[in-house]
Amino acid sequence: MILQKIIEMTTSRIHNHVEIKEIVLLFILSSNLYGVDTIFLGGNILTMDDERPSARALAVDRGRIVSIGSEKEVLKLRRHWTQIIDIRGGTLMPGFIEAHCHPIAGAMLSQLVDVSGFTHGSRSDVLDTIRDAVSIAVPGEWVFAFGWDPIMVKDLDNPTLAELDQISLDVPIFILTQMAHMAFINSAGYRNAGITRETPEPPGAGKFQKDVDGELNGVVYEVSAIQYVINNMPKTPRGTIELLLNLQYGKFAKAGYTTISVLGPVNTAGYPLGFISGLSHDPSVPVRTNLYVLPDQFDIFRGHPERENPNFRVNGVKLYMDGSPYTGGAAFSEPYLNTELTIERMGLKPDHVGQVNYTDQEITDLIAKYHTDGFQIAVHSQGERALDLLLDSFDRVFNEHPRPDHRHRLEHNALITRSQMERAQRLGITLSFFIDHIYYYGTSLEHIVGKDRLKRYMPIGSAIHAGHRPSIHTDNPATPIGPFRPIRTAVTRKTRDTGTIIGADERISIDDALKAVTINAAWQIFEEKERGSIEIGKAADLVLLSQNPKAIDPEQLDQIKVLSTWINGKWIDTSPFTWMNIKLGLLLAYEFLKTQLKVWLSV
């Protein structure tokens, strides 16, 4: 009877009105009577639970944690069928949660021409890579490059239309910047995408930039305009996208993530949401997904929140209040500095202040729409001016439509001020920081925002002091997948190139940094009762590490290796040769051969 009751109750999500205490009691009674499936022991266990921060053993039964304590205590639940996993001196933690990423973009961009600052040291290197790609392009094929980065590559000023046309007048070229808020295109690209000087600007902040004579100048600005070009490229076969996406999910699992938050899936091959939803319904999916859709995708899932699938949930909507500080898109309250970097390499006009993507009324109406519908809102917001407008709009909407515990989110928060953080806290709005900006771009940022503003760039320490429970994220593919580089950066605030400490007062403790990728991130997505810490009754989403992050030099945090991950107590195969990948590969091969057979028969 007890077992039957447990099975019935655990088919429903805990956060959907199921009493966690009742589930815990039933699991404990059942485990004591019948034993458990798995016991972990032989190393350190960091629970991320303030009431019991560490342990030496834990037991899992039917995917749930049922006992935590000493090895002697937990081994009392052992039966002849119980699997004993010796972690051999490693450290077991709750699985990491990526608070903000773009896996479809990451999957697709991984197949593009790499021109990033991670692999190139000069402008000539970047252009040579593009020329090489053009030289081997087949008729009708685009050369789509990703990673143009004038911050990391010091002599990389923006290419002109004439320069790209010199590389090729026939092969369409499209170059996306590292932060994906600006791109460059040649005349063949315009022609193939159907863009002329008369083409209307897409919705939002997107622009096909023009020169003083009104002619297209080769610059495609902001997400909606970039998406317009991509939508007019040849479509990638559905099977290819499914395989690449599953491989991308495997990379997250290999890095120790058991849950990811997808904020604004790109529109590719017609139905991006279907790929994520379909993948998440496969029982062998390597990570769970929490999804925030773009406004034009919202109606697809409005009536289908998928709350009964434990691996997939639609949380809400993603909005963009401003753009990237590395393209001049972040809306600052004071101008960008007038420096060689901003004027020559980034191509900004003197005293540029950035721009917001919505008027006061537009953003207020959008917030009211999704807030009153009961969805969570996550907003890309970098500059102080954008944040002021956002907070004003949230305040107005909340006064007219109060709603407890909405946990709306501000994303990235490059230059959020102390008063803005305090106001956000009063309004119940939570913060997620893109801390990798410090690591990869901290030295160069001084030439964009100056010394004073740089001291408070990505101010996660002040956020904690203001009472927030912030998360940190990689925004992959903007920066590589992996939790320990941003954890290290949050603790040390050191840059990659020179080791300079940026904003020493904003450093946080290792405990707070670990919470930012576990329990805080779980709380932000309304999953704190299910995951984010090792507690009795929670899902056994776990990661095994080579070292204890609390016991090593912070400088060595990014050297920690992820040894294994588990979801619901089930070990996750993170190799590329999983059955799911093999199945997708065989289906892709079948579709290719079927298409080729039709071609051969028609000859």
Examine residue 564 and state whether it is found in any structural domain, yes or no.
yes
Q: 412: phi > 0 → left, psi -120 to 50 → alpha, else beta; which?
A: left
Residue 144 forms part of a structural domain: yes
Q: Which of 243-257, 284-298, 355-369 has the lowest mean pLDDT?
A: 284-298
603 has a pLDDT exceeding 50: no
pLDDT digits (tens, 9 = 90+) for 333-350: 999 999 999 999 998 999
Q: Are 526 and 16 in contact (CB under 8 A)?
A: no
Residue 426: pLDDT over 80: yes
- Say yes or no: 416 and 473 in one domain: yes
Q: Are residues 426 and 459 in the same domain?
A: yes
Instruction: Please report, for the domain that includes residue 362, its CATH number.
Output: 3.20.20.140
Residue 39 bridge partners (DSSP): 59, 84
**β-sheet bridge partners, residue 369:** none
Residue 374: inside a domain: yes
State whether 214 and 306 are in the same domain. Answer: no
Cα–Cα distances in angstroms (integers) from residue 193 to residues 57, 185, 186, 314, 590, in the given order: 58, 10, 11, 32, 30
- What whole-number distance in Å separates Cα of residue 240 and Cα of residue 377? 31
Give yes or no: residues 313 and 393 share one domain: yes
Is the per-residue pLDDT at 17 higher than 50?
Answer: no
Is residue 582 situated within a structural domain?
A: no
- Please report the pLDDT score of residue 3 as a whole number: 38
- Domain check: are 405 and 275 in the same one? yes
pTM of the shown model: 0.87
- pLDDT tens figures, 93-140: 999 999 999 999 898 888 889 999 989 999 999 999 999 999 999 888
Cα–Cα distance for residue pair 279/103, rounded to 1 Å: 12
Q: Which domain holds residue 155?
A: 105-231
* Parallel, antiparallel or unpaired: strands 83-86 and 91-94: unpaired
Kindly report the backbone phi and psi dihedral angles of residue 298, in degrees, each rounded to the nearest multiple of 5, phi listed first. Answer: -60, -45
Q: Has residue 256 been placed in a domain?
A: yes
Q: Looking at the structure, do residues 340 and 380 belong to the same domain, yes or no?
A: yes
In a shared domain, residues 137 and 77: no
Q: Are residues 426 and 439 in the same domain?
A: yes
The CATH number linked to 27 is 2.30.40.10
* In-domain check, residue 477: yes
Asked whether residue 23 falls in the same domain as residue 43, the answer is yes
Range list of H helices, 281-431: 298-302, 360-372, 384-400, 418-427
- Residue 266: pLDDT band (50, 70, 90) is low
E-assigned strand segments in 274-391: 288-293, 312-320, 376-381
pLDDT for 304 beyond 90: no
* Higher pLDDT, residue 8 or 202: 202
Q: Are residues 290 and 346 in the same domain?
A: yes
| Residues 410 and 295 grouped into a single domain | yes
Q: Is the pLDDT of residue 43 over 60?
A: yes
| Residues 45, 68 contacting (CB under 8 angstroms) | yes
| Phi/psi-derived region of residue 111, left when phi > 0, alpha when psi is between -120 and 50, beta in every other case | alpha
Which is nearest to 517 in space by CA: 563, 569, 482, 480? 482
Report how many domains make up the chain.
3
CATH number at residue 193: 3.10.310.70
Tens digit of each residue's pLDDT (9 = 90 or more) over 161-214: 999 999 999 999 999 999 888 999 999 999 999 999 999 998 877 899 999 999
Task: For residue 307, give both structure tokens.
Answer: 């709350």
Query: Are 544 and 562 contacting, i.e. CB atoms less than 8 angstroms apart?
Result: yes
Query: What is the tens place of the pLDDT at every residue in 503-536?
Result: 999 999 999 999 999 999 999 999 999 999 999 9
- Same domain for 476 and 565? no
pLDDT at 594: 47
Q: Which residues contact 1 (CB under 8 A, 6 or more apart)?
A: none
Q: Which amino acid is at 545?
A: L
| pLDDT per position as a tens digit, 457-499 | 999 999 999 999 999 999 999 999 999 999 999 999 999 999 9
**HSE (CB half, 13 Å, CA atoms) of 434?**
26
Please state whether beta strands 216-221 and 207-210 pair in parallel, antiparallel, or not at all (unpaired).
antiparallel
Share of the chain above pLDDT 90, in %: 74
pLDDT of residue 577: 60
In a domain, 592, yes or no: no
